[in-house]
Structure 1
Amino acid sequence: MSEQTVYLNGVYLPLQDAKISVLDRGFLFGDGVYEVIPVYNGHIFRIQAHLQRLDRSLKSIRLQNPHSTAEWLAIFEPFLETSKDQYFYLQITRGVAPKRDHAFPESVTPTVFVMCSDIKPFEGKQAGIKALTLDDTRWEMCHIKAITLLANILLRQEALDQGSAEALLVNKQGIVTEGAASNVFAVIDGVLVTPLNDGSILPGITRDVILELARRNGIACREQVITLQTLKTASEIWVTSSTREIIPVISLDGEPVADAKPGPIFKEMDALLQKEKKLS
């Protein structure tokens, strides 16, 4: 199926023909959630984990999942191609209300949108990227994969404007939370660490896979509080996401991370992840 074909409310149609009402609450309020799911050579990666996270996000905003796992798989199937790597973007909003009102409308049908695109190689994966630390100005429900991403967008853009590829966010207590569009890992005193899954971060699927692979392969790892001061002592820093996988950070706030090259634990973990993808 062409990547210009999308799914909207039960219908496959050309992207240019996909339209929603201006009274859709996703359009008016950002009242909805989304999910991003990678696909490798026609195989959907960690589909159950992604759909479970989708279900948690929906429950958090008091919406029922409109489809069962089997129904989601049936929706995805026409998009799959065995010769390439792809990713699904799916979005569910509360639907179209009769008027603009903050209160939840009664008896509305959720809007369901699915799009599939090719995964493009990320240039910074091999050489590493620059990152910038910024104050975490987002809301306090970051565990919900909500479509209200303006704060993340502004933070990422500030990093880009200053010549960095990602913003690493630091809360008012000086604790590192996550990236504007990623989770954060660091190697500190030889141990792979990542911030706690305590509601202040989005529980990334790639993050969980990395922790699983580390434990399975004898790489010392743990979830812990990471202060900005501690992060700046790290021998390696990574950011992770479903479409970019693991990206090494070689410069933080204009200062090199160790020797400013992707580190040995990154290389080991990336190799383990590539192997895991083939087994999916």
Structure 2
Amino acid sequence: MSRTVYVNGEYLPEDEARISIFDRGFLMADGVYEVTSVLDGKLIDFDGHAVRLSRSLNELEMKNPISKDDLLEVHRELVRLNEINEGLVYLQITRGSDGDRDFAFPAEDTEPTIVLFTQNKPGMADSPAARKGAKVISIEDIRWGRRDIKTVQLLYPSMGKMMAKKAGCDDAWMVEDGFVTEGTSNNAYIVKGNRIITRALSNDILHGITRAAVLRFAREAQMEVEERNFTIDEAKEADEAFTTSASAFVMPVVEIDGVALGDGTPGRVAPRLREIYLDEMRKAAV
């Protein structure tokens, strides 16, 4: 069955959706995006994603074509039309097109392009991958310097995913100046004792919405959180590790560059945080 998608104010069958070949998202990766999870037919942490979307647009001096309330309604309508119980809603806003290709931004009255679509992902919450844990490799981080803006410039993260796949692993952690920045599509953490260690917020990493919620829940559960840089070697000696993202929630990491953490299975902290996160976010879902 064809999905219903949203393009510039219209709900359309996916095979009828069209944007200009001159759209700057296509030509220049001049756009931002958000991914909001759906559990039990409801949106997880929508407010957080809406706030970060606004920040990304402001940082790029890009006009927001839709209000927060209208955006929420579009999300809900797509979930309803596509009968999503567990899955994702993908949102992308680009600077649009004024009818040709140019490095200079188009005229200020050029309308942005806004696209949303859903992905049906049964079993997201009860994920076999989360019970097994992920294996990661380390790669050099060669992305641009404004990783705090959630842009559609995802070529290198995609390449990182493929490097991991070719190595028989699940993901890659990126390393800059000797320290882990983040995963290809997630924030990275290690655990020593009862202490959770993760890189502090800056332009170097994405300000994860799931990250913020998980760290809040960890502190409420009397877990110690230390926001600082850590190396791959330190990570290999950790008791356990994990990642957070909107699509995978809390994902245990059981191996880094071929080195097993602990006994090579998910530890104590990550599964507990995943359980708390899912429980609390379901309560707050809209």
Tell me the TM-score range normalised by the shorter chain: over 0.9
1:112 alignment partner, one of 106, 111, 114: 114
Structure-2 residue corresponding to 1:60: 59
Stretches of 4+ moved more than 4 A in 1?
none
Q: CA deviation at 1:207?
A: 0.7
What displacement does 1:83 show? Answer: 7.1
**CA apart distance, 1:270:** 1.5
Select which of 177, 185, 189 maps to 1:185.
189
* 1:226 maps to 2:225: no
Does structure 1 retain, via aligned residues, the 8 Å contact 2:182–2:205? yes
User: Are the aligned partners of 1:193 and 1:223 in contact in 2 as well (CA < 8 Å)?
Assistant: yes
1:212 aligns with 2:216: yes
Q: Secondary structure at the match of 1:55?
A: helix
Distance (whole Å) between structure 2 residues aligned to residue 110 and residue 3 of structure 1: 25
Corresponding position: 1:93 with 2:94: yes
Q: How does 1:1-280 map to 2 (within 5 A)?
A: 4-81=3-80, 84-106=85-107, 107-121=109-123, 122-171=127-176, 173-280=177-284
TM-score (norm: length of structure 2): 0.93
- Partners of 2:184 and 2:79 lie apart in 1 by 29
Residues of 2 paired with 1:114 and 1:124: CA distance?
A: 27
1:80 and 1:236, CA in 2 relative to 1: closer, same or farther beyond 3 A? same
Q: Contact 1:3/1:116 (CA < 8 Å) preserved in 2?
A: no
Is the contact between residue 186 and residue 231 of structure 1 (CA under 8 Å) also seen in structure 2? Answer: yes
Quote the Cα distance in structure 2 between the aligned partners of 1:69 and 1:3: 27
> In structure 2, what is the Cα distance between the partners aligned to 1:112 and 1:146?
14
The answer to which of 220-229 and 17-26 deviates more is 220-229
Contact 1:25 1:97 in 2 (8 A): no
Letter in structure 2 aligned against 1:186: I
Corresponding residue SS for 1:80: helix
Structure 1: 5+ residue stretches without partners: none
Length, aligned pairs only = 278
Structure 2: where are the runs of 5+ without partners?
Answer: none
d(CA) in 2 for partners of 1:8 and 1:272?
Answer: 36
The C-alpha deviation readout for 1:16-61, integer Å capped at 9, x for no partner, is 1111111111111111000001122232111111001001111111
Instruction: Please give the per-residue CA displacement for 1:42-89, whole angstroms capped at 9, x wherever unaligned.
Output: 321111110010011111111122111111112122123487122110
Q: Once the 2 structures are TM-superposed, how far is the Cα of residue 98 of structure 1 from its aligned partner?
A: 2.4
Cα 1:83–1:169 shift into 2, 3 Å: closer
Which amino acid is 1:217 matched to?
A: A
